A and B are shown apart, each in its own frame.
Chain A
Amino acid sequence: MPDPKQILVNDLWLPLVKDGGDQLFPRRRIHKNMKLFTLTDMNYEEIKIFEENKLTKRENIIAWNHSYQQTLRLETELGRSVILSEGRLDDALNEDNQTMPENFACDILNLDFTSQKPINGAAGRIENEINCGNILISILNNNQMNGFVLIYTTLLDQFDLNPNNIEFTLNTPNAISNPVSNINDKVELIKIAINTLCQNNSYLISNTSDLLSDTNNQAVKLYSMGIVSARSN
């Protein structure tokens, strides 16, 4: 059975990052040399593929992993990249806004929360992840980044989503129940949330794609969505 991450990287993330590279750095013809922030683990397929496609270089990568041991392993694997670890990113950022350096800047923001195992199987996880994304996008906005590729990957499980737990106001259609329990509604809510957090930070989305796939557990779906976004003014 093919590795689900490999499918995600090849079918969704790579085309999106390539498009983002062309849009954000049209003058960089041979090597896009984009700065990558990625939540990853020892299966760092996205780094290998992005490097192979001349989208990023090891020295332009910041990788985050929640586990101390895995971080040490990643340090020896990735060489010149910066590896960070202060627990799960969503916990670290939501508890302390000082976790990320003030001058944090990246062109590709790969928030693959499924790499931060074990997955926190509790209500409010996805809302926390979205809030964490919001914090990072505001930092990029504060640091005058012109645009970015945002990839958000999560597991949709049995827990309902509660839009009230998201720290910014969402303009949800009436058709979506509250709390959100249906898979399609959860996907819709995530899309709205990502769109909103970009708009709130003065970024416009020019390309959106997503992928919903099965996991070994029938009740849990793997969902990944990505956008290319550029400053609106």
Chain B
Amino acid sequence: MNISQDIKKAKITVDKEVVKHLSLGLYRNFALAIKELISNSYDAGATEVKLKLDLENGRIILRDNGRGMSETEFKNQYLRIGYFKEPSKDVDELGRMRIGTFGIGFLAPLPYCKSLKIITKKNGNKFAVEGNIKAENFFKKGNWDIKDEEVEYTVYESDLSIDEGETIIILENIKEQIYDELSRETKVTRSIEGSGYDKFKWTLAQYCPIEFPPSRKDLIDFFGIKSRVSMKLWLDGIQIYRNIPLNTNILEKKIIEFGGIKVKYLIMTPFETVKPEEMRGLQVRLKDVAIGFPRDFDVTKLGRVLGKLNQLCGEVHIQKGLDNSLLVNRDSFNYTEDVAKMYDFFRERLTYWNERLHDWANDDKELYLALGELSNDERILDSLSESNLLHFSKERLRLSEGTLRKSKSKTVEDSVDRVVDVLSKKAGESKKIIRRKGVISPNSPAIEINNKLNTITIFEDHSAFVERIEFDRQDYRIQYDEWDPSKTPFSICQLSKNGKNVVYNKNHPLFKGKLNDNIVKRLGLGILIILSEVKNKEDLIRKFNNLIEDTFSEK
């Protein structure tokens, strides 16, 4: 090997078939072009990739700690466009399957810069190779112009230790449109809010084979392969992780086979619209790299209206069977019988979960209405959520405080009975419901869920369940019962023997009509008390007038 710093020349040679592929419009997106470089780093065994966008100086620098290249590899493989490598059948020493096969990754950023500099040092080698590729010679007036080309390079002793490998790629004189796009501060799409820089970062985090965020241990455990060493990516000094929409819950996770295809997948929901909208649907990955955008597998094209589809997201990792089926644009696979089966399956799963979410939303609404003001007690809501008895937030279901207050006063039903009914329906046989009487502090929760004993205890005498009505400065506790209204003059309500409780007749037709239950309750109780207690005619009229004013004054 010549180790002098003399400038040498090597030829970029081109497999002409590649030109055909490139003309398909490959690499329309700058972030995806950078993703290609990062994928190359992954294949080179890098555990760390660091990217700097030096827009002020019109440069982008990418550095990885992968194996690097020797002078021979640089000349014979890197500069050989379309150097096809059979998809790897076995994992490398880091437990990874090679991503790249087409040998065109390095071309990807060329449309976006005037020159590309590469400095690479192979591990186990003392020398670094530094080459300059005149990018503008390959892409002219918006079209690829692939031809054999000479590249100047030098070889010199590296300052790294012999066992270290490294590749640094510098895109120099990046085109103005990229500078504008990345530095734009306004909203660039309807969904990813922020600058073009944010969108760039989002795209890298979506496509690159990088780590899940440390907070998502559930995803790391499910998709992680212990024997595989992951790759970390930094952008401008800050580590970035794979995009996962906030607060997503796993609905389903499985490993499944479709003929020769084996996939590991999970479906998630945040129980609200997935944001940004680009993340709605399932992201297919091959060898940990995203294939196209997240997709709904054409569920909506079948004429179905799936209202909750925008609340579903997830990942589908191809584990076996599609290595040779990836189209060169990396957006999709050849449509084989097995691929069709796989698509059918995910269409069915998305449809299923859309319907489940609908059901859950209706059930949750019913539970919130039964809980009334208790739905402000976060302790109860948290324990119901932990037990999977409640999924959606009140806000998401558009239940206002007013609606929840009304729900209690409008219903002529014991609020404990109502909560028990709804919870019994939701919990099924998974939890036993216990009704407990006795005084309990208003500060304690009115409902307690014990997931170990699988019980739900409802404290009937908790102030939250006790319905009260006031008349003439006297407070009455409301109870409900049923009797035939035609067989007694006390057809609407009657007082208990101690005079402290008022019992309303749920069978009375007035409670079944369109009248406001609260008005009926107040008038019924008022008439009962006035007629039984007031003897003086003037007092009688005055009391009736007061009753009417009180009842209709929107108290």
State in angstroms the CA–CA spacing of A11 and B238 once bound together: 28
Contact residues in A for B51 (Cβ distance below 8 Å): 76
Which parts of A59-79 form the interface with B (CB within 8 Å)? 67, 69-70, 72-73, 75-79
Which of these, B54, B128, B168, B234, contacts A73 with CB under 8 Å? B168
**B35 contacts partner chain A, Cβ-Cβ < 8 Å:** no
State in angstroms the CA–CA spacing of A58 and B128 once bound together: 30
Given A67-B159, A79-B236, 10 more A-B residue pairs with CB atoms under 8 Å apart are A58-B237, A69-B128, A69-B159, A70-B159, A75-B61, A76-B63, A76-B168, A77-B237, A79-B235, A80-B237
Chain B residues packing against A (C-beta within 8 Å): 50-52, 54, 61-63, 119, 128, 158-159, 168, 170, 234-238
Count A interface residues, CB 8 Å.
Answer: 13
State in angstroms the CA–CA spacing of A67 and B61 once bound together: 16
- Separation in Å of the A223 CB from the closest CB of chain B? 25
Asked if B168 and A72 make an inter-chain contact with CB atoms under 8 angstroms apart, the answer reads: yes
Contact residues in B for A70 (Cβ distance below 8 Å): 159
The residue of chain B having its C-beta at the shortest distance from the C-beta of A68 within the complex is B119
The residue of chain B having its C-beta at the shortest distance from the C-beta of A69 within the complex is B159
Asked if A80 and B168 make an inter-chain contact with CB atoms under 8 angstroms apart, the answer reads: no
Asked if A76 and B62 make an inter-chain contact with CB atoms under 8 angstroms apart, the answer reads: yes
Q: Which 3 A-B pairs have the closest CB atoms?
A: A79-B237, A79-B236, A76-B50
State in angstroms the CA–CA spacing of A81 and B236 once bound together: 9
Q: Is the interface of B mostly helix, strand, loop or mixed?
A: strand
Contact residues in B for A78 (Cβ distance below 8 Å): 237
Q: List 15 A-B contacts (CB under 8 A).
A: A58-B237, A69-B158, A69-B159, A69-B168, A72-B61, A73-B168, A75-B54, A76-B51, A76-B168, A76-B234, A77-B237, A79-B52, A79-B235, A79-B236, A81-B237
| Contact (A72, B63) CB under 8 Å given A67-B159, A77-B50, A79-B52 | yes
Which parts of A80-107 form the interface with B (CB within 8 Å)? 80-81
- Separation in Å of the A3 CB from the closest CB of chain B? 16
- Separation in Å of the A42 CB from the closest CB of chain B? 10
- Separation in Å of the A212 CB from the closest CB of chain B? 28
State in angstroms the CA–CA spacing of A110 and B236 once bound together: 23
Asked if A73 and B237 make an inter-chain contact with CB atoms under 8 angstroms apart, the answer reads: no
Which of these, A69, A75, A80, A81, contacts B119 with CB under 8 Å? A69
The residue of chain B having its C-beta at the shortest distance from the C-beta of A81 within the complex is B237
State in angstroms the CA–CA spacing of A79 and B50 once bound together: 9
State in angstroms the CA–CA spacing of A61 and B235 once bound together: 17
Contact residues in B for A73 (Cβ distance below 8 Å): 63, 168
Contact residues in B for A80 (Cβ distance below 8 Å): 236-237
State in angstroms the CA–CA spacing of A73 and B170 once bound together: 11
State in angstroms the CA–CA spacing of A58 and B52 once bound together: 13
State in angstroms the CA–CA spacing of A70 and B119 once bound together: 12
Most chain B CB neighbours (cut-off 10 Å) among A77, A78, A79 = A79
Contact residues in B for A81 (Cβ distance below 8 Å): 237
Contact residues in A for B235 (Cβ distance below 8 Å): 79
Contact indicator per residue, chain A 148-186, by CB within 8 Å of chain B (1) or not (0): 000000000000000000000000000000000000000
Asked if A76 and B159 make an inter-chain contact with CB atoms under 8 angstroms apart, the answer reads: no
Contact residues in A for B50 (Cβ distance below 8 Å): 76-77
Asked if A76 and B238 make an inter-chain contact with CB atoms under 8 angstroms apart, the answer reads: no
Which parts of A21-65 form the interface with B (CB within 8 Å)? 58
State in angstroms the CA–CA spacing of A70 and B158 once bound together: 11
The residue of chain A having its C-beta at the shortest distance from the C-beta of B235 within the complex is A79
Asked if A72 and B119 make an inter-chain contact with CB atoms under 8 angstroms apart, the answer reads: yes
- Separation in Å of the B366 CB from the closest CB of chain A? 48
Contact residues in A for B168 (Cβ distance below 8 Å): 69, 72-73, 76
Asked if B119 and A76 make an inter-chain contact with CB atoms under 8 angstroms apart, the answer reads: no
Contact residues in A for B170 (Cβ distance below 8 Å): 72
Contact residues in A for B63 (Cβ distance below 8 Å): 72-73, 76
Contact residues in B for A67 (Cβ distance below 8 Å): 159
Contact residues in A for B61 (Cβ distance below 8 Å): 72, 75-76
State in angstroms the CA–CA spacing of A80 and B51 once bound together: 11
State in angstroms the CA–CA spacing of A69 and B128 once bound together: 10
State in angstroms the CA–CA spacing of A78 and B63 once bound together: 12
Contact residues in B for A58 (Cβ distance below 8 Å): 237
State in angstroms the CA–CA spacing of A195 and B54 once bound together: 38
Most chain A CB neighbours (cut-off 10 Å) among B235, B236, B238 = B236
Contact indicator per residue, chain A 209-228, by CB within 8 Å of chain B (1) or not (0): 00000000000000000000
The residue of chain B having its C-beta at the shortest distance from the C-beta of A41 within the complex is B159
The residue of chain A having its C-beta at the shortest distance from the C-beta of B50 within the complex is A76
